[in-house]
Amino acid sequence: MIEGARIYHAAHNNDPIGHIYDILEYNHAFEAVAKWVDENSSDDHEILLVSTSDHECGGLALSWQCPEDQTGDYAWCPDVMFNA
């Protein structure tokens, strides 16, 4: 089993760079395991490869980072993603 656990922390911290980095690293690990599965599976010995993801919990799709002392209408604010 391989878990990309840092994506969870990056999402909670609204850290798009950490989020993307862990996605890319997980993808590299998955590709390596998929290659191993292809090379080691046979008709007599099947290997199942399952990949799943955690939930997105930091509003990454919306890029909303409102200061704690500020309130107002909820709006899409892509500046955080553009800066990443």
- Binding residues for Mg(2+), as ranges, are 3
- Binding residues for Zn(2+), as ranges, are 12, 54-55
The whole-angstrom separation of Cα 39 and Cα 24 is 23
**55: which residues sit within 8 A by CB, 6+ positions away?**
none
- Binding residues, as ranges, are 3, 12, 54-55
